[in-house]
Amino acid sequence: MPAASAKKTYDLFVSYSQSDRPLVTKFAEDLRARKVSLWYDRWEMRPGDTLRERISDGIAQARTFMVLLTPASLASDWVNYELNVGMLREIEGAKLRVVPVLAGGVDVREIPVDLRTKYCLDISSSEGYSAALEQLVELIHPERRERQELLRALRAGAGQFRYVPVLREYALTGHDQTVQVAALRGLEKQDGADATLVVIERMLNTWGLQALNAAYKILVRRGSDGILGLAATYFHDSRYFHEKLDLFAEIEPGLAGVRDDYWATPFNWHLPKVAEALFEASDPDIRMGSLISAHHHFGEGLGTPMPGQAQLGLAESYAEVRIPGLLSVLERSAPRSL
């Protein structure tokens, strides 16, 4: 005999009078748009279903029971039946919370006594409607509110998130790019090379284009240290060859020629000439950064003579003074074969 499939669960069971269907349908659609899963008879009932069985099952599989209280629903036998089932499950300790929602001019004094002790939502006005939506979503998915609070705090870079090591954890770990980008925004608000270093570290992790693009743009706005960081990661990720070369050509117009040639040639065919031009750049951030990037990320495979030890040593000393720890993160990102 095949195993029985797991029953579907719901965030919210909707109890209402059919007379209030237009209002309930709009409210249900607005909740669904906010990623709330609902047992709403118009969406869940199928021809031939037994009403009492399907309703009881829907209530049993829901975490929240919402009853819309209007003059029509207060007079409805079905709503009273559903409400009795929901209240009984709540009293018996089931993981179900009954939430009354007022509409249609119903006064709290008109509703059943056992509901008067509960905090009621009221969707009679447009302001109340919007507030009730948000309160229900927060009740059902408190983690979403916590997430939004976390994202706001990360972006602000305030409180505990003014410390670079704390922001670093959120910017570099996990696979939630929205959180990573928020932490990067917080790092942008912090002065100092230690914050720049974390953004460079994220640039060296080639996973996650959203976070990578945020890191790139922050380094562009970071000033001289940001340019050094972009140059020091130049040969690490081919997706940013063109963008970085365009930026460097704006800083040093002498690079415009090799930039134009590179744009006009097939991918990577002109890269050795680009490297040679960067190695000779007059801007020290571009020159020193590209030298150490070529050493750590390409080596002799770049197809052009690599800098000598004296030149490389000078570039590494320059970079380490400017952004302490940069050489270590570059070393960790280098191919194992180097």
Distances (CA, A) of 52 to 49, 56, 78, 90, 300: 9, 6, 9, 19, 76
Report the alpha-carbon distance of residue 188 to residue 122 in Å, rounded: 42
Give the H or E element holding residue 101: strand 97-102
pLDDT of 267 higher than 70: no
Instruction: Report pLDDT for 175.
Output: 86
pTM above 0.85, yes or no: no
Residue 269's pLDDT band (cuts 50, 70, 90): low
Per residue in 299-322, pLDDT (tens digit) is 767 777 888 899 999 999 999 999
Say yes or no to pLDDT of 190 above 90. Answer: yes
pLDDT of residue 51: 83
Q: What is the pLDDT of residue 82?
A: 94
Please check the confidence at residue 24 and state whether its pLDDT lies above 90: yes
DSSP assigned state of 62? E
CA 303 – CA 283 distance, rounded (Å): 23
What's the average model confidence in pLDDT over 241-262? Answer: 91
Residues of the chain with CATH 3.40.50.10140: 10-140
∠ at Cα 191 (188, 192), nearest 5°? 115
**Model confidence over 192-247: pLDDT tens digits?**
999 999 999 999 999 999 999 999 999 999 999 999 999 999 999 888 988 999 99
Q: Is the pLDDT of residue 180 over 60?
A: yes
How does DSSP classify residue 324? T
Q: What is the pLDDT of residues 131-146, one digit of tens each?
A: 999 999 989 988 888 8
Tell me the DSSP string of 156-201: HT-GGGGSHHHHHHHHHSSS-HHHHHHHHHHHHTS-SHHHHHHHHH
Which residues neighbour 127 within 8 Å (Cβ) at sequence distance 6 or greater?
Answer: none
Give the H or E element holding residue 38.
strand 38-39
* Class of 10-140 in CATH: alpha beta
